[in-house]
Amino acid sequence: SAVISQKPSRDICQRGTSLTIQCQVDSQVTMMFWYRQQPGQSLTLIATANQGSEATYESGFVIDKFPISRPNLTFSTLTVSNMSPEDSSIYLCSVGSGALTDTQYFGPGTRLTVL
């Protein structure tokens, strides 16, 4: 499976600021996904990022709050904008793999705390 890294691994931010999370893969992938995992909870899909097209957002998530970039087949960023304490969570990227690209492998996650 692909080697996936995320930066930063953790951060503590002030409310009202923005944080950009990077996801890097060691091979070209078509499908990249961004998830949020609140403490003790399951994984919630924020959006799907395909190279060369606009990200597709899930219900409850909007581009103004979570802008996503996908400049090439190995890299994506997620920005958490105008943060509030409710945004404190773990943010994970994943990549779709396999012939059908539905097998997903996860990055190590970014633990965000908003004060």
Partner 1 sequence: GENVEQHPSTLSVQEGDSAVIKCTYSDSASNYFPWYKQELGKRPQLIIDIRSNVGEKKDQRIAVTLNKTAKHFSLHITETQPEDSAVYFCAATALSGGYNKLIFGAGTRLAVHP
Under the rule (CB under 8 A), what is the footprint of partner 1? 1, 31, 33, 41-45, 48, 50, 56, 59, 92, 96, 100-109
**In the complex, least distance from residue 19 CB atom to partner 1, rounded to whole angstroms:** 19
Whether the Cβ atoms of residue 20 and residue 78 lie closer than 8 Å to each other: yes
| DSSP structure class, residue 58 | P
**In the complex, least distance from residue 7 CB atom to partner 1, rounded to whole angstroms:** 14
User: What SS3 class is residue 87?
Assistant: helix
Pick the closer one to partner 1 by CB: 81 or 90: 90
**In the complex, least distance from residue 106 CB atom to partner 1, rounded to whole angstroms:** 4
Pick the closer one to partner 1 by CB: 31 or 73: 31
| DSSP structure class, residue 100 | T
CA dist 109 and 107 (Å) reads 6
**Buried-exposed string 70-80: b where 16+ CB fall within 10 A, e elsewhere:** beebbebbbeb
Pick the closer one to partner 1 by CB: 50 or 69: 50
Pick the closer one to partner 1 by CB: 7 or 81: 7
Q: Comparing C-alpha atoms, which of 7, 55, 8, 3 is closest to residue 29? A: 3
**In the complex, least distance from residue 16 CB atom to partner 1, rounded to whole angstroms:** 28
